[in-house]
Chains A and B, each alone.
Chain A
Amino acid sequence: MATHDNTEHVSDATDEAVGWESKLRYFLNSDFVRSAPYWGIPFVLMSIAVYGGIGYNFAISFTDYEGLGTPDYSTLDLEMYAQALSSDAFIAAAQNNLVLLVGFTTICLVLGLFLAILLDHGIRFSEKFQTVYLLPMSLSFVVTAQLWLWMFNVESGILNLVVTTLGFNPVDWLGNPSIALGAVIFALIWQFSGYTMVVYLAGLQSIPDDQFEAARVDGASITRTYLRIIVPQLKEASVSAAVVLMVFALKAFTFLYALVGRYRPPNGTDILATLMVRRAFKFGEWAYSAAIATMLLIMALGVIGPYLYYQYKQGSL
């Protein structure tokens, strides 16, 4: 950015002035400044698009901005936050978000680890299974949501075909508020357990065979070998997979929106993101939505923060 050079040479400069000038010249010739055009432009664009947006959202959330006017910055307060925290809809959405976050991430990790261990045992067609498990991950939420809408259909869905064949009553997967969230989590797990599997598989394959052999020689059972020796070495993989999954859980908006094609998801599956979009774009409650957005951001940071700290402690940051 600062490419201008100080071309004015002061002829009768003192030692001090020369020192200052050469310092500046050193600075301008440093790697930091000379590389600036390369990292600087993306940095500026990023700042505007992401951090500028966050900043503006933050500012709006303190106003009472609503409808089609312009925000009034003269009275800034936390009213919108208080209003959100005392609203049942917000609490319910936050709870659903938390359940989604914890349930989805945990089950995905456990299932992915299980699949990875199976595949790591060199079963036949393991590459093909790997592809089968991973494929859903490559589909867009829009596709998987429509697919699961059909699967969950009470009358003609394949899930109820199974349920009724087993002799149970058909289940209203998405219509019953007490199981709708479970159904959504189930669909998301279907889509993302393949991803955790791949992450774990990479981790498993990087563990040398010697360790399995040594454990066997020492007489450890397979379960014991995995629990005591192998799984503890997958901590890195677990942490990074968990972070990615949690971020996806916070972004489940896309899935829910594609499921019903509107901002109100099936009863019992309202999350903060859907609530926020609904308040903003159906009713123009910009300030209120901005407050929800800020709290959603804080939740996301709550997930990412410990990870970054962990990475920092490990020395990889």
Chain B
Amino acid sequence: MVEHDSSDESVNRRKYLKALTVGAAAGIAGCTGGGGTETESTESGNGNGSGGSTDDTETSGSSSGGSWDSQLEVLHGWAGGDGEAAVTALIEAFEEEHPEMDTNFQAVGASANVNLNATILRRLANNNPMSSFANWPGKNLERYSGALMDLEADVWDAEGFKDTMQARAVELCKFNDQMPAVPIGSHRMNNLFYNTAVFEEAGIDASSLDSVDALLDALEAIDQNTDVTPMAQAMVAPWTNLQLWAQILTSQSGVEAYTNFIEGNPDRAAVVEALEALKTINENYITADASSISFTTAGQKVISGNAATIHQGNWVYGMFRADDSFNYKEQWDWIPFPGTEGIYFYHVDSIVAPSNNPSREETIAWQKFVGTKEAQIAFNNPKGSVPLRTDIDPSELTDFLAMTYEDLTDSEAYPPTIAHGLAVTPKTMGACKTAFGDNFMGPFKVEATADALIAAVSE
């Protein structure tokens, strides 16, 4: 509200609406003979609580560190379950650190950030930015190209985060020679969670699952020997198929094949082979209602013993943990996705700051806080993800997360996830999801999906 008034010259929707509103207000005012203060009303929605119309003069002398002048407004998508618990812990820790700052943390919808991303895009397009927002770093930032704030000097260098954060997280937070994001946590993608009782009943030794073929055999054994559905899969949206396919591709043809794919040199034979395996799974081993359930419902099926395994990012750990009668190493256990041992399939959540920032000083303080040990531990324990700092004592994390954290710091390869924004641009990711959405939600058309996937990354 302070600095960005005169930044652009041409007409946009806000200006157009403002002009119309002002025109109408003037017209009405002319009729009724009332005063000219109506034009203020279009701006007062984001006032900072200390009085609407005097904002401009108040903020002029704002360099002193102790007092904050503007409101910190942060948008995130963690509206329920483990995410809500995590962000609440993060906010509490932050408010303890800066009790005098006026903050406004808004959870925007759930559902895989659909509403969050739409809201951010709309507000940035309308030149009405917030202080910062939660989003994936990496290629995903392409979506907000040209509207991001550079935090390199003020946050990264000032706090020495480049030395304390994982090198590849630092790389992912660079965008167009700027560093607009600070990572908050990492989920691992190559997981296979399973219900131990069902595996026992079917006579499967989880540690022997070292390839996709072994997995398919195990699923077949569960199908034959028990009444339980071998795998829970959520296909209400195509991203679950996309990420499972990426695991299978990596398992069958190696990290290089996956890397080549995301870099635009796909090997069609490998793509097709992975799709064939996924087709076998989807046609034979998943719950019949897959097409109408979300991943939380799918996870519940593993908890209730109606499904034996599930592949997901380890956010389902946050969900499993919420159930007191479903414990790690007892009722459920984990292996890396068969054939991906020694690999940490990489996912990062970060907090991103837009340019034209309405609260520069507050945003910097907040972004600095996001990178601290305290914040990363507070957030990641409830979330089921792991901190990206390299100097965390694993004993501060839960058992499962401590194990994941050790893998995070010590794996052979870290391929970036394709279904969660890191590996490819939002457009390519959208095209990959569409490839699955149009051709692979049952009936499963391998050739058509392969063509669409290859076209998506080759553009």
Name the CB-closest residue of B to A148: B292
Report the stretch among B38-46, B116-124, B254-262 that lies at the interface.
B116-124
B149 within 8 A of A: no
Question: Are A68 and B289 neighbours in the complex by a CB distance under 8 Å?
Answer: no
**Cβ–Cβ < 8 Å partners of B143 in chain A:** 284
B235 within 8 A of A: yes
CB-CB under 8 A for A70 and B11, given A45-B24, A262-B111, A281-B121: yes
Question: Are A56 and B16 neighbours in the complex by a CB distance under 8 Å?
Answer: yes
Question: Are B290 and A69 neighbours in the complex by a CB distance under 8 Å?
Answer: no
A120 within 8 A of B: no
Q: Which of B3-55 contact A (CB under 8 A)?
A: 8, 10-13, 16-17, 20-21, 24, 27-28, 30-31
A154 within 8 A of B: yes
**Cβ–Cβ < 8 Å partners of A41 in chain B:** 28
**Cβ–Cβ < 8 Å partners of B12 in chain A:** 70-71
Checking A1, A153, A261, A266 against B114 with a beta-carbon cut-off of 8 angstroms, the contacting residue is: A261
The proximity string for A residues 239-273 relative to B, scoring 1 for CB distances below 8 Å and 0 otherwise, is: 00000000000000000000011111011000000
Q: Which of A28-58 contact B (CB under 8 A)?
A: 37, 41, 44-45, 48, 52, 56
Checking B10, B28, B287 against A70 with a beta-carbon cut-off of 8 angstroms, the contacting residue is: B10
Question: Are A48 and B31 neighbours in the complex by a CB distance under 8 Å?
Answer: no
Question: Are A153 and B237 neighbours in the complex by a CB distance under 8 Å?
Answer: no
Question: Are A263 and B114 neighbours in the complex by a CB distance under 8 Å?
Answer: yes
**Cβ–Cβ < 8 Å partners of A284 in chain B:** 121, 125, 143
CB-CB under 8 A for A262 and B441, given A56-B13, A283-B427: no
B147 within 8 A of A: yes
Report the stretch among A110-118, A167-175, A213-221, A291-299 that lies at the interface.
A167-175
CB-CB under 8 A for A281 and B292, given A37-B31, A67-B146, A262-B237: no
Question: Are B20 and A155 neighbours in the complex by a CB distance under 8 Å?
Answer: no
Query: 3 smallest A-B Cβ distances: which pairs?
Result: A175-B291, A281-B118, A261-B111
**Cβ–Cβ < 8 Å partners of B147 in chain A:** 68
CB-CB under 8 A for A264 and B237, given A41-B28, A281-B118: yes
Q: How would you classify the secondary structure of chain A's contact residues: helix, strand, loop or mixed?
A: loop
Question: Which of B's residues lie within 8 Å of A, judged by CB?
Answer: 8, 10-13, 16-17, 20-21, 24, 27-28, 30-31, 110-112, 114, 117-118, 121-122, 124-125, 143-147, 235-238, 287-294, 426-427, 430, 433-434, 437-438, 441-442
A205 within 8 A of B: no
Question: Are B124 and A261 neighbours in the complex by a CB distance under 8 Å?
Answer: no
Q: Which of A128-145 contact B (CB under 8 A)?
A: none
Question: Are A149 and B292 neighbours in the complex by a CB distance under 8 Å?
Answer: yes
Name the CB-closest residue of B to A52: B20
16 cross-chain CB contacts under 8 A: A3-B31, A44-B28, A48-B24, A52-B20, A68-B124, A153-B289, A155-B288, A170-B288, A175-B235, A175-B292, A176-B442, A262-B114, A266-B292, A267-B438, A267-B441, A282-B114
Question: Are A48 and B292 neighbours in the complex by a CB distance under 8 Å?
Answer: no
A305 within 8 A of B: no
Q: Which of A274-301 contact B (CB under 8 A)?
A: 281-284, 286
State the CA gap A214–B256 with chains docked (Å). 86
Checking B31, B110, B146, B291 against A69 with a beta-carbon cut-off of 8 angstroms, the contacting residue is: B146
A48, A73, A170, A175: most-surrounded residue (chain B CB, <10 A): A175
Name the CB-closest residue of A to B431: A283
Checking B290, B434, B438 against A175 with a beta-carbon cut-off of 8 angstroms, the contacting residue is: B290
State the CA gap A264–B441 with chains docked (Å). 13
**Cβ–Cβ < 8 Å partners of B121 in chain A:** 68, 281, 284
State the CA gap A157–B293 with chains docked (Å). 12
CB-CB under 8 A for A155 and B146, given A70-B12, A176-B442, A262-B111: no
Least CB distance, B108 to chain A, in whole angstroms: 12
The proximity string for A residues 62-89 relative to B, scoring 1 for CB distances below 8 Å and 0 otherwise, is: 0000011111110000000000000000
Question: Are A175 and B441 neighbours in the complex by a CB distance under 8 Å?
Answer: yes
Name the CB-closest residue of A to B124: A68
Question: Are A48 and B20 neighbours in the complex by a CB distance under 8 Å?
Answer: yes
A152, A177, A267: most-surrounded residue (chain B CB, <10 A): A267
State the CA gap A72–B235 with chains docked (Å). 40
A48-B21, A281-B122 provided; 16 other pairs, C-beta below 8 A? A1-B31, A45-B24, A48-B20, A68-B144, A68-B145, A68-B146, A70-B8, A152-B292, A153-B289, A154-B289, A172-B288, A260-B237, A261-B111, A263-B114, A281-B118, A281-B121
